[in-house]
A = this chain, B = another copy of it.
Amino acid sequence: MKSWLEKRAALSPDQIGLYSGDKNAWTFRDMNEEATELAERIAPYIQNQAPVALLITNQPQSVFLIHALQKIRVPVLMLNNRLSQNEWQYQLENSDAQLVIYEDQFAIEADRALSIGELRNGVRQKVQAFKKEDVCSIMYTSGTTGNPKGVMQTYNNHFANATGSAFNIGHKPDDIWMCAVPLFHISGYSILMRSVIYGIAVRLYEKFDERGIHADLISGKGSVISVVTTMLQRLLDVKNESYHPFFRCMILGGGPAPLHIVERCHHEQIPVFQSYGMTETASQFTTLSPADATRKTGASGKPLFPGEIKIVDDQGGDCAANVIGEILVKGPSVTKGYLNNDQATKEAFAEGWLKTGDVGYLDNEGFLFVADRRSDLIISGGENIYPAEIESVISGHPSVKEAGVVGKKDDQWGEVPAAFVVLIEQIEEEDLHTFVKERLAGYKRPKVYHFTDELPRNAAGKLVRRKLKEEINHESF
């Protein structure tokens, strides 16, 4: 079975598939050669169909590695490079990963770890693709229980997202999709899939640098870009000129955007498409076109064809239009479940519908309004942070009795985690911070610690994070 890149290289060998920096470009033929070489270097280490983990940054080489694993047709576990050693370890063990390939800069400790340096110096072996594996990629997300779960994205999921997106925003054979979001997130990974499926170029950015991206937007170096709210805000902060007419679509994801930002975009004629999606839907699931944006302010749009959405109440019954309930999604881009976690998979679905845990409503024209992400979810600079995971770590400190974590509003990041901690015995905040630092990625670490005598709980003894959130933000939620 040929990989998507291989098919694309056969169809459009001379078309540029990847740009990086001002001077570097690869045709699909070049990319296929790079990926084939890497696949042949990885092949000697492959023993079965278990996932291979990648710990990488936004480098052209990472793109080739991702395609190399598609050639071998083993699932790739995309490790978030901002996590801590403990967090990586959990994902590697939970996924039964057979190998982790890492950029030399990351000091990961794991059995069967292979640096890219070692890989490049190893032997080559003809690739024998495993034919039946339909899982393309795995990305861990945490849930309300605090245990990260490996979301399985099949080839069909990615294909369905790519097609739905094309039907929605249109597809121009000369499009260039700017990727400044991480490749280990679904937002970045899905751009690579669209590139080979559509036959268009990706312009890859190592990091999000608003001045560099702004310069590229005004000089016409890209036609589509995926951003999260923080990035958009930073772009607006430096905007001093109109974008080039080649630029036609800015897909805004990763949490609700404040109205004033959306309005400024309309005012400045930035073609912003608000969207709603998640790792479980292989990137955006609904999109609001600029045409509808002015009359549907605050909406996240309608599902990409042929996805479906419904809103249900606590008993699972359908909500009428304009009535808030839980958002359920269904369609070919929706995950088939969580890796090695049948229980979580079973709990996540109801009669074929994925229960997102997010809250919202459909208006009487069918536009989705996301009232709130899962009530406990903190979105910080586009990263999802699940309080239960942080609480679990803090509570693990011998001097801590219990902890509650909520999002504190932040001008730069949207939200940052804040912790309320009940102590068993007196300790310094610095001790706690050191303890957490060893166990959690930087963006997940509380920026504020409040020591308190008790946490607000309801009659059933369940933590009421809403009250903590009110307290920390000095306003009603």
A residues near B (Cβ < 8 Å) are 2, 4, 7-8, 10-11, 13, 163, 166-167, 169-173, 197-199, 302-303, 305-306, 308, 365-366
Q: Which residues of B contact A11 (CB under 8 A)?
A: 302-303, 305, 366
Nearest B residue to A173 via CB reads B170
Q: Which residues of B contact A167 (CB under 8 A)?
A: 166, 171, 197-199
- Are the C-beta atoms of A305 and B199 separated by less than 8 Å? yes
Min C-beta distance of A154 to chain B, whole Å: 14
- Are the C-beta atoms of B172 and A305 separated by less than 8 Å? no
Q: Which residues of B contact A197 (CB under 8 A)?
A: 167, 305-306
| Interface contacts beyond A169-B173, A170-B172: sample of 7 additional A-B pairs, CB < 8 Å, sorted by A | A10-B302, A11-B305, A167-B171, A167-B197, A170-B170, A170-B173, A197-B306
Q: Which residues of B contact A199 (CB under 8 A)?
A: 167, 305
- Inter-chain CA distance A7–B169, complex, in Å, is 17
Question: Can you name 23 A-B pairs with beta carbons within 8 Å?
Answer: A2-B308, A7-B305, A7-B306, A7-B308, A8-B305, A10-B366, A11-B302, A11-B305, A11-B366, A163-B163, A163-B166, A166-B166, A166-B167, A166-B171, A167-B171, A167-B198, A167-B199, A170-B170, A170-B171, A170-B172, A171-B171, A197-B305, A199-B305
- Inter-chain CA distance A4–B164, complex, in Å, is 13
- Are the C-beta atoms of A365 and B305 separated by less than 8 Å? no
Nearest B residue to A155 via CB reads B306
- Inter-chain CA distance A108–B38, complex, in Å, is 64
Q: Which 5 A-B pairs have the closest CB atoms?
A: A171-B171, A163-B163, A11-B302, A170-B173, A167-B198
Q: Which residues of B contact A13 (CB under 8 A)?
A: 365
- Inter-chain CA distance A11–B288, complex, in Å, is 11
- Inter-chain CA distance A308–B171, complex, in Å, is 22
- Inter-chain CA distance A365–B167, complex, in Å, is 29
- Inter-chain CA distance A308–B10, complex, in Å, is 10
- Inter-chain CA distance A173–B305, complex, in Å, is 13
- Inter-chain CA distance A292–B171, complex, in Å, is 19
Interface centre among A171, A172, A199, A365 (most CB of B within 10 A): A171
- Inter-chain CA distance A198–B170, complex, in Å, is 9
Min C-beta distance of A338 to chain B, whole Å: 26
Q: Which residues of B contact A302 (CB under 8 A)?
A: 10-11
Q: Pick the contact of A306: B4, B169, B365 (CB < 8 A).
A: B4
- Inter-chain CA distance A173–B308, complex, in Å, is 20
Nearest B residue to A9 via CB reads B366
Min C-beta distance of A2 to chain B, whole Å: 7
Q: Which residues of B contact A4 (CB under 8 A)?
A: 306
Min C-beta distance of A176 to chain B, whole Å: 14
Q: Which residues of B contact A306 (CB under 8 A)?
A: 4, 7, 197
Q: Which residues of B contact A2 (CB under 8 A)?
A: 308
Nearest B residue to A171 via CB reads B171
Q: Which residues of B contact A365 (CB under 8 A)?
A: 13
Q: Which residues of B contact A8 (CB under 8 A)?
A: 305
- Inter-chain CA distance A2–B305, complex, in Å, is 12
Q: Which residues of B contact A173 (CB under 8 A)?
A: 169-170
Interface centre among A10, A13, A163 (most CB of B within 10 A): A163
Min C-beta distance of A113 to chain B, whole Å: 34
- Inter-chain CA distance A4–B331, complex, in Å, is 13
Q: Which residues of B contact A166 (CB under 8 A)?
A: 163, 166-167, 171
